[in-house]
């Protein structure tokens, strides 16, 4: 009976993770890569707390939107593109809330075609709002530039 309960709970958790992937992570990645700040912030709760911990700051929704818009504008003006990839080290979810922890890799390509990759560990708290998953808390850190490709490859792909 205990084994059945564990297997059943794992199946439910996987269903929640699929919903989170479809409602949050896929649009998050697409909007980020396409320099679409409005689409990017659309997957965040209006009550979001954003903390890029390397910068030691906290942002609310409107501050986060402004920061994204400014970054997108700079990238467009400098003919730069970026590609975000996410891998996960821990995923916990129930019907109403979740926590995802993982490693991101952002590769920036300049107008000459040169690539530079940045890595960090992210911690995200999610909740369902009106039946849709949203990011409530979004933090990340390079952990003093110690996160790299090895950490990224050791984490699990989204699906």
Give the model's pLDDT for residue 14.
Answer: 73
The tokens for 95 are: 């019907």
Tell me the C-alpha distance between 33 and 24, whole Å: 14
Q: Is the pTM of this model over 0.75?
A: yes
The CATH code of the domain that includes 119 is: 3.10.450.50
Question: Rounded to an integer, what distance in angstroms lies between the CA atom of residue 48 and that of residue 13?
Answer: 23
The per-residue pLDDT for 126 is: 98
Domain that holds residue 38: 2-157
Please state, as a whole number, how many other Cβ atoms lie within 10 Å of the Cβ of residue 116.
11
Cβ contact 98:133 at 8 Å: yes
Backbone angles phi, psi at 34, to 5 degrees: -95, 10
Q: What pLDDT shows up at residue 8?
A: 43
Which tokens go with 17?
């993770």
Burial of 79 (C-beta count, 10 Å sphere; 0-12/13-18/19+): exposed
When divided into structural domains, the chain yields a total of 1
Weakly modelled stretches of the chain, pLDDT under 70: 1-13
Rounded to a whole number of angstroms, the distance between the first and last alpha carbons of the chain is 29
CB 102, CB 86: distance < 8 Å:
yes
Q: Looking at residue 13, what is its pLDDT?
A: 59
**What pLDDT does residue 1 have?**
52
Predicted local confidence at residue 4, as pLDDT: 44
């Amino acid at each position: 009976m205990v084994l059945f309960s564990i297997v059943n709970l794992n199946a439910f958790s996987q269903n929640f993770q699929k919903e989170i992937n479809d409602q949050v992570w896929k649009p998050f990645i697409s909007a980020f890569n396409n320099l679409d700040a409005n689409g990017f912030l659309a997957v965040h709760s209006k009550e979001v707390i954003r903390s890029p911990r390397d910068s030691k700051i906290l942002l609310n929704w409107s501050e986060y939107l402004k920061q994204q818009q400014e970054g997108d504008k700079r990238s467009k003006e400098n003919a730069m593109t970026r590609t975000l990839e996410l891998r996960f080290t821990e995923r916990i979810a129930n019907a109403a809330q979740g926590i995802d922890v993982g490693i991101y890799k952002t590769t920036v390509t300049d107008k000459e075609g040169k690539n530079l990759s940045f890595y960090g560990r992210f911690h995200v708290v999610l909740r369902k709002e009106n039946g849709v998953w949203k990011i409530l808390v979004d933090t990340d850190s390079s952990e003093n530039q110690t996160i790299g490709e090895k950490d990224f490859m050791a984490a699990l792909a989204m699906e």
